[in-house]
């Protein structure tokens, strides 16, 4: 039986990152949701209470490494933009890696430092994973439901 691992990323509106991560071989499941705030079971309307929109990724580490997922993450968002991504402005659209264990934290910090060494001021946060709250069903695979297959 395959033992899946979990990675959680915030990269603006969760629709596009979910589509991006769904295309990676070794990713077995993605889920749009919320993390990082203090309100339990937030709805989409309550996400502004400190939560970020996130994509939780369940992956087979024998098929895709956490390092490979981080590489995709750093390419899939603007690490220099604080409190938003593109036209989506607000703390709920901030960029963050929510790590689930010390190894993920170490690797996330290492990759962030590599981006900074290229001369970029990085606003992306590295934070401990908290409780994950599933977003409403209409947010799940939102772009795929509308016929988009790639970004």
Paired sense of beta strands 125-128 and 95-99, if any: parallel
Catalytic residue among 13, 20, 32, 127: 13
- 151 catalytic per annotation: no
- The residues, any chain, with a CB within 8 Å of residue 69's CB and separated by 6 or more, are 7, 9, 21, 24, 27, 57, 59
For 100-114, give the DSSP string.
SSHHHHHHHHHHHHH
Give Cα 106 to chain centroid, integer Å.
17
**Catalytically active residues, by annotation:** 13
């Amino acid at each position: 039986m395959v033992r899946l691992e979990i990675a959680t990323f915030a990269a603006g509106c969760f629709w596009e990152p979910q589509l991006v991560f769904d295309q990676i071989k070794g990713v077995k499941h993605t889920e749009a949701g919320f993390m990082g705030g203090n309100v339990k079971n937030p709805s989409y309307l309550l996400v502004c209470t400190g939560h970020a929109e996130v994509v939780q990724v369940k992956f087979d580490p024998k098929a895709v490494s956490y390092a490979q997922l981080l590489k995709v993450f750093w390419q899939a968002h603007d690490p220099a933009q604080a409190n938003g991504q593109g036209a989506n402005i607000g703390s709920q659209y901030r960029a963050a890696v929510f790590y689930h264990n010390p190894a993920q934290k170490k690797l996330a910090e290492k990759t962030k430092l590599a981006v900074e060494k290229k001369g970029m001021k990085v606003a992306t946060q590295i934070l401990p994973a908290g409780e994950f709250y599933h977003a409403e069903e209409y947010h799940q695979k939102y772009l795929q439901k509308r016929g988009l297959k790639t970004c």
